[in-house]
Amino acid sequence: MAGGKKSTTATKDKSTGTKDSKKSKKDKGESGAARKAEISVKVNEQQAMKIIQNSKVVTVQDLARQTGVKISAANKFLKESAIKGTVKRVGGYSGHRLYQAVSS
């Protein structure tokens, strides 16, 4: 003799009134994409080289934390610096590589 559950007045109010007040996911996604397009993250070369020269070795994660940029930006900077010859890779494995400043 089980019957269907009756919905209360409070439940009816919740289900009908909240759709107008909240933004849809599509609206949120468009504004988020616009913000990402505006962001330009660059590593300050002088600051980064000072950090690298003052430490024995540096990882991508260390450089990102100390300069305040994303790990991907720090990784790109270190890879480009290694190609230029200002830093060299001295160890590490996989995504945890160790870099050191080249002494002149």
Give backbone dihedrals phi and psi of 100, rounded to 5 degrees, phi first.
-140, 145
pLDDT at 38: 46
Whether the pTM exceeds 0.75: the reply is no
Task: Give domain limits for the chain.
Answer: 45-101
What average pLDDT score do residues 83-98 get? 90
* Rg, Å, the chain Cα set: 26
Going along 3-65, which residue ranges are E strands? 58-59
pLDDT digits (tens, 9 = 90+) for 25-53: 555 555 555 554 445 567 888 899 999 99
Least confident of 9-13, 16-20, 64-68, 100-104: 16-20
**Given the DSSP bridges, would you call strands 87-93 and 58-59 parallel, antiparallel or unpaired?**
unpaired
Instruction: Look up the CATH number of domain 45-101.
Output: 1.10.10.10
**What pLDDT, on the 0 to 100 scale, is given for residue 50?**
92
Tens digits of residue pLDDT in 54-72: 999 999 999 999 998 999 9
